[in-house]
Amino acid sequence: MKLRVISPSKSLSIIDKSVIDQATKKLNSLGYEVYIAENAFCTQKFYECGTIEKRIEDINNAFKSDADIIMTSIGGYNCNQLLPHIDYDLIKNNPKKLCGFSDITALLNAIYAKTGIITYYGPHFSSFGMKKGLEYTVRHFINIFDKGHDEIDNSKYYRDDLWFINQENYNKRINRGMVVLNSGEAEGTILGGNLCTFNLLQGTEFMPNAKSIILFLEDDSESAENFLLEFDRNLESLMQTEIWNNVTAMVIGRCQIASKMTIEKWKKLFSTKKNLKNIPIIINANFGHTTPIVTIPIGGHAIISKEGKIKMEG
């Protein structure tokens, strides 16, 4: 199996060589030959990414290549700059499994919207550079990519630290697990990812839709103690769009510690929105800007049971 690394958001140049080497070694051990795109290390003045032209070149070449999987280096900003310039016909005629998260939300959902090809909200290439605490992420990555289906379970621990600075310091925390705020059954097409990035697609041809949608949403802690307010207004904005008419359930990824979110705060947030009272809502699922994470098929199918079990196919 061949895996090609591209940098549609931040450049691979910001990642320490030791992390790149460890990620390559780990993916090799899983049976993947790793190839890094020609422009993956490029940067430009004022931006930690390559030019639009160089990033598009790498995307086109990756989909034209004999790679089985395309994986992004890391997240960042400005991936949505690329959306009007992408050759979607090329992608549709040369389907590949594309995986990444955070700012890559824009690219994943746009490709699904324009081509109908399932994309994957999951680990970056750099994520595999983690030496400790990666087992859960790898297991769920394999479940989706090799078996085509998965069920989200609770990891015993999670971490929210700058692991790449000191790999030997495994700062693990007890994971309380998923919490069902609204119980109920639902099934539908998976859309979403990073909420504030997903919202950048509003009003564009790149916003996907489906007859029945289960939204998987998360956000980072850049707004810190204002996380609740920022998430609220972003969610409110999304609820005022056309796709919300088709939302049947919502799954929220685990928050970073700096967000200072609690179950009580989530309950308060959702209580202000009347049209959320009748759909299943589950919080603290294993995806987002902490680790470990599952791999979520954007455009795939999800089923939520009354007990709060989440099964995915794609």
**Structural domain contains residue 156:** yes
Q: Does 218 participate in catalysis according to the annotation?
A: yes
Looking at the structure, do residues 198 and 98 belong to the same domain, yes or no? no
pLDDT for 222 equals: 83
Spatial CB neighbours of 59, under 8 Å, sequence gap ≥ 6: 6, 8, 82, 86
Query: Is the separation of the CB atoms in 74 and 10 below 8 Å?
Result: yes
- How many CB atoms neighbour CB 101 within 10 A? 27
Q: Does 102 participate in catalysis according to the annotation?
A: yes
**Angle between helical axes of 227-239 and 263-271 (0-180°, round to 10):** 30
Looking at the structure, do residues 171 and 287 belong to the same domain, yes or no? yes
Looking at the structure, do residues 230 and 187 belong to the same domain, yes or no? yes
Q: What are phi and psi of 313, to 5 degrees?
A: -135, 140
Looking at the structure, do residues 100 and 212 belong to the same domain, yes or no? no
pLDDT for 170 equals: 84
pLDDT for 165 equals: 83
d(CA 123, CA 290): 11
d(CA 106, CA 193): 9
C-alpha neighbours within 13 Å on the C-beta side of residue 161: 17
**Structural domain contains residue 135:** no
CATH number at residue 41: 3.40.50.10740
Looking at the structure, do residues 81 and 183 belong to the same domain, yes or no? no
pLDDT for 225 equals: 87
Looking at the structure, do residues 125 and 73 belong to the same domain, yes or no? yes
- E strands, 212-313, are 213-218, 247-253, 281-285, 296-298, 301-304, 310-313
Across the chain, mean pLDDT equals: 96
**Structural domain contains residue 86:** yes
d(CA 71, CA 252): 23
CA 83 to chain centre: 17
The b/e string for 246-275 (b: 16+ C-beta within 10 A; e otherwise) is ebbbbbbbbbbeebebeeebbeebbeeeee
pLDDT for 302 equals: 98
User: Residue 244 sits in which domain range?
Assistant: 152-313
Looking at the structure, do residues 92 and 7 belong to the same domain, yes or no? yes
**Structural domain contains residue 250:** yes
| pTM, rounded to two decimals | 0.97
pLDDT for 24 equals: 98
Chain segment 41-72, per-residue pLDDT in tens:
999 988 999 999 999 999 999 999 999 999 99
The catalytically annotated residue of 102, 127, 155, 221 is: 102
Q: Which two tokens stand for residue 86?
A: 């992408």
The catalytically annotated residue of 7, 218, 221, 301 is: 218
CA distances from 283 to 73, 139, 269 (A): 27, 21, 12
Q: Would strands 97-100 and 119-121 be described as parallel, antiparallel, or unpaired?
A: parallel
Work out how many domains the chain is built from and give that number. 2
Looking at the structure, do residues 119 and 210 belong to the same domain, yes or no? no
DSSP structure string for 49-98? S--HHHHHHHHHHHHHSS-SEEEES---S-GGGGGGG--HHHHHHS--EE
**Structural domain contains residue 143:** no
Please identify every stretch of the chain with a pLDDT value under 50, giving residue numbers as ranges. none
pLDDT for 241 equals: 96
Spatial CB neighbours of 209, under 8 Å, sequence gap ≥ 6: 113, 191, 242, 243, 246
Q: Return the C-alpha torsion angle 174, 175, 176, 179, nearest 10.
A: 170
The catalytically annotated residue of 124, 140, 289, 301 is: 289
pLDDT for 167 equals: 85
Looking at the structure, do residues 121 and 198 belong to the same domain, yes or no? no
Q: Would strands 310-313 and 301-304 be described as parallel, antiparallel, or unpaired?
A: antiparallel
Looking at the structure, do residues 293 and 174 belong to the same domain, yes or no? yes
